[in-house]
Amino acid sequence: GQNIDQPTEMTATEGAIVQINCTYQTSGFNGLFWYQQHAGEAPTFLSYNVLDGLEEKGRFSSFLSRSKGYSYLLLKELQMKDSASYLCAAMDSNYQLIWGAGTKLIIKP
Amino acid sequence: GAVVSQHPSRVICKSGTSVKIECRSLDFQATTMFWYRQFPKQSLMLMATSNEGSKATYEQGVEKDKFLINHASLTLSTLTVTSAHPEDSSFYICSARRGQESSEQYFGPGTRLTVT
């Protein structure tokens, strides 16, 4: 079956770095997405990886290892506004997104 | 960038009535649109996938006669919640994809439905 695993909740300190891990199993693979979702709002796109390696975009970076079925989202210089849920989603061979349950990130001052 | 709008953003209706939610791709043609539902503190749950001009494909456990989806054009899909009940109260989100084999998927802002 198809499955996405990510931690339910993480806590980090303002100004620090946090890494949110995601493992996936899908029928075929067409990329790995990370979305940010604040409470009561729709998800917003953060990153897309289809090749192995690290993609850096400002304070956020995303890493993919296709052979391991593994990705992580790295957030640097954490700000209070980064408190949100972070959703990992893998695209299968039919170009359908398989969603993780999301990781709630709590930032403390 | 690609913009997807939803209307209304919030709706309150009485039990037994029907509610229609519109999803529009404003600056691109969306061959495929997706409808999600999200209950508080839970992740997105895909309800159905709709392709322009054809019947929607519903996920297991989603009643197609209760959640009517119409994708009449390349820029508009509608979700009608028929005979709504309080348990249908949820956050409904649509997303749109440019092409069948595109990785680009854009989300609307969501519609908060409350059934009293």
Residues B58-84 have pLDDT tens digits of: 999 999 999 999 988 889 999 999 999
pLDDT at B90 over 90: yes
Pairwise CB contact (< 8 Å): A43 & B100: no
Among the partner residues B43, B49, B91, nearest to A87 by beta-carbon distance:
B43
CA A49 to chain centre: 10
Helix (H, G, I), strand (E, B) or coil at B2: coil
SS3 content of chain B, % helix, strand, coil (to 5): 5, 50, 45
Give B100's pLDDT tier (boundaries 50, 70, 90). Answer: low
Among the partner residues B46, B101, B110, nearest to A95 by beta-carbon distance:
B101
| Residue A94 pLDDT | 81
pLDDT at B1 over 90: no
| Mean pLDDT of the region B12-17 | 97
More confident residue, A95 or B37: B37
Distance CA A95, CA A30 (A): 7
Distance CA A49, CA A47 (A): 7
CB atoms within 10 A of CB B54: 8
Report the alpha-carbon angle B34-B38-B44, nearest 5: 60
Give B104's pLDDT tier (boundaries 50, 70, 90). Answer: confident
| Mean pLDDT of the region B41-48 | 87
Using DSSP bridges, classify how beta strands B45-51 and A53-57 pair: parallel, antiparallel or unpaired: unpaired
Tens of pLDDT, residues B106-116 = 899 999 999 99
Which residues in chain B have Cβ-Cβ distances shorter than 8 Å to A43? Answer: 44, 93, 107
Give pLDDT < 50 ranges for chain A. Answer: none
Taking all residues of chain B, what is their mean pLDDT, rounded to a whole number?
A: 91
| Residue B101 pLDDT | 62
Which residues in chain B have Cβ-Cβ distances shorter than 8 Å to A44? Answer: 107
B84 min Cα distance to partner chain A (Å): 21
Q: Which neighbouring-strand residues pair with A87?
A: A35
| Mean pLDDT of the region B81-97 | 95
Give B102's pLDDT tier (boundaries 50, 70, 90). Answer: low
| Residue A73 pLDDT | 98
| Mean pLDDT of the region B6-34 | 94
